[in-house]
Amino acid sequence: MTTTRNGRGRRMLTFGAVLQGAGGHIAGWRHPLSPPDGGLDLAHHIRVAQTLERGTFDVVFVADLLAVSGTHLDSLPRTARSNTFEPLTLLAALSTVTERIGLVGAASTTYNEPFHVARKFASLDHLSAGRAGWNVVTSVSPREAANFGQDAHLEHGLRYKRAAEFVDVVRALWDSFDDGAVLRDTAAGRYYDPAGLHTPHHRGEHFTVRGPLSISRPPQGHPVIFQAGSSEAGKNLAARDGEVVFTAQRELAGAQRFYADVKAQAPARGRGRNPDHLLVWPVLAPIVADTEAAARARRDELLELIHDDVARRLVQDTAGDLDLSGYPLDGPLPEVGETNRSRGRQEQLLGLARGENRTIRELARRSSGGGMITGTPETIADHVEEWFTGRGADGFNVGFPRLPGAAEDFVDHVVPELRRRGLFRESYTETTLRGHLGLPRPGERDRAESGAETSGAGAR
């Protein structure tokens, strides 16, 4: 039995929420009830994080892009996406003003080195007393490559091979010190037990890292590993290493297939992993109001704030390498060739364009919402319950279209309804993120079993 279940053994929901300045919707910063400077307003982020903690959310999550999010002058000046905090800096600040909620940030395996990532997330886990999580991402934007001296990204499959080795090295570095190896024995003059220090000496296809890490083992053993990806390579990495897996499924049937597939792969790809220790979180972007009509009006108000230039760019950046400047927004999407972009997102967009005959404007509005659904607290709870009990989700990664209002509406009205149905906790019962999620704490004995020790590992 895990902490994601109540005392009767019933499976319980888990929730994360994305911190995105004035909101996840691309026009959220224009809304009269959202702060247009929310992306760099620490007080605003603190307010949202504390609201979510009041709602006993498991996680606040900060995404990242190692470039300006949209360098094209046709759309960049009309969005707030180019002015955001670096994730670890913001999460470290939030660790001092929250007590229980998990703190998860993205860090790219394409344009970082394992030692950097291992040290930063170990530090955040210590700062927060065991509430850190790392979202493992493989960079997809061509603009990121240009910022690191590259003309193009590594090929899609190779990015994921690098990511798998990257995670192995980070895990080995987190295990540099055994639990209890740091003694701080002032009388004997011994700070740590040398028998409890391990030097990975990793030498692989992509990385050579001696180690050890310059910080003791994180309170959780390993910060929780999050991963997002719906392509086959992404699902393989999720089944191998992900403990919470984000997915952008929009329909229940597709979510159920993804859920069953990635859980079924976990024992083989994850070296005997328990599928219950891999949680699947589709995206959810709720707009809540007292009536269905009022909720739809709130949604339409946001959609009307999308400038035409932004709409065109939203579709271009998801579909891939094509120029839509000469195409009418209320016409169909032209043919799209194979690209090096995120395959999962592209396939979802093309499915809407071809299968449902969506126009470019409709695709942009759909893309801008990130899974946006509207309704009363009861109908939003119905949606959540259907996906949860139907094994399409273990929880949700909630991207609030505008902040702080949409988060407050969800916490004050939807969370009580989910609690009334016995689907969500009344209060926190654990102090660590692993505790909230019902995930086991890796022990040093798991090091070789998990694949964390690699070529030459174990030297002391």
In Å, how far from its chain's centre is CA 90? 15
Tell me whether residue 253 is exposed, middle or buried, using C-beta atoms within 10 angstroms of its C-beta: 0 to 12, 13 to 18, 19 or more: exposed
Give the per-residue pLDDT at 71: 56
Residue 359 exposure: Cα atoms within 13 Å on the Cβ side: 8
Alpha-carbon distance of 291 to 268, in angstroms, equals 47
Give the per-residue pLDDT at 193: 96
In Å, how far from its chain's centre is CA 166? 18
Number of H helices, E strands in the chain: 16, 13
Give the per-residue pLDDT at 456: 36
Each residue's pLDDT expressed in tens, for the chain with a length of 460 residues: 344 554 446 899 999 999 999 999 989 999 999 999 999 999 999 999 999 999 999 999 999 988 887 656 567 788 887 789 999 999 999 999 999 999 999 999 999 999 999 999 999 999 999 999 999 999 877 788 888 888 888 888 899 999 999 999 999 999 999 999 999 999 999 999 999 999 999 999 999 999 999 999 999 999 999 998 778 888 889 999 999 999 988 899 999 999 999 999 998 876 788 999 999 999 999 999 999 999 999 999 999 999 988 888 888 877 776 788 888 888 888 877 665 556 666 777 777 777 677 888 888 887 776 568 999 999 999 999 999 999 999 999 999 999 999 999 999 999 999 999 999 999 999 999 999 999 999 986 455 444 444 443 333 3
DSSP 104-125: EEEEESSSS-HHHHHHHHHHHH
DSSP annotation of 30 reads G
Which element (helix H / strand E) includes 303? helix 292-303
Alpha-carbon distance of 194 to 170, in angstroms, equals 21
Give the per-residue pLDDT at 2: 40
Beta 59-62 vs 14-18: how paired, if at all? parallel
DSSP annotation of 25 reads S
Distances (CA, A) of 42 to 37, 114, 202, 407: 10, 28, 39, 17
- HEC profile of 394-408: CEEEECCCCCCHHHH
| Cross-strand bridge partners of residue 280 | 245
For the CA atoms of the chain, what is the radius of gyration? 22
Instruction: Count Cβ atoms below 10 Å from residue 218 Cβ, excluding itself.
Output: 25
Which element (helix H / strand E) includes 132? strand 132-137
pTM, to two decimals = 0.88
Give the per-residue pLDDT at 74: 65
Give the per-residue pLDDT at 457: 36
Closest listed residue to residue 47, CA positions, set 324, 305, 403, 393: 403
Alpha-carbon distance of 107 to 155, in angstroms, equals 19
Give the per-residue pLDDT at 337: 64
User: What residue ranges in 290-380 does DSSP mark as E strands?
Assistant: 372-375
Closest listed residue to residue 250, CA positions, set 158, 157, 349: 349
Alpha-carbon distance of 19 to 398, in angstroms, equals 9
Tell me whether residue 260 is exposed, middle or buried, using C-beta atoms within 10 angstroms of its C-beta: 0 to 12, 13 to 18, 19 or more: middle
> Measured between alpha carbons, how far apart are the two ends of the chain, in Å?
37
Alpha-carbon distance of 1 to 356, in angstroms, equals 43
Which element (helix H / strand E) includes 14? strand 14-18
Indicate if the alpha-carbon torsion angle 98, 99, 102, 107 is positive or negative: positive
Give the per-residue pLDDT at 242: 95
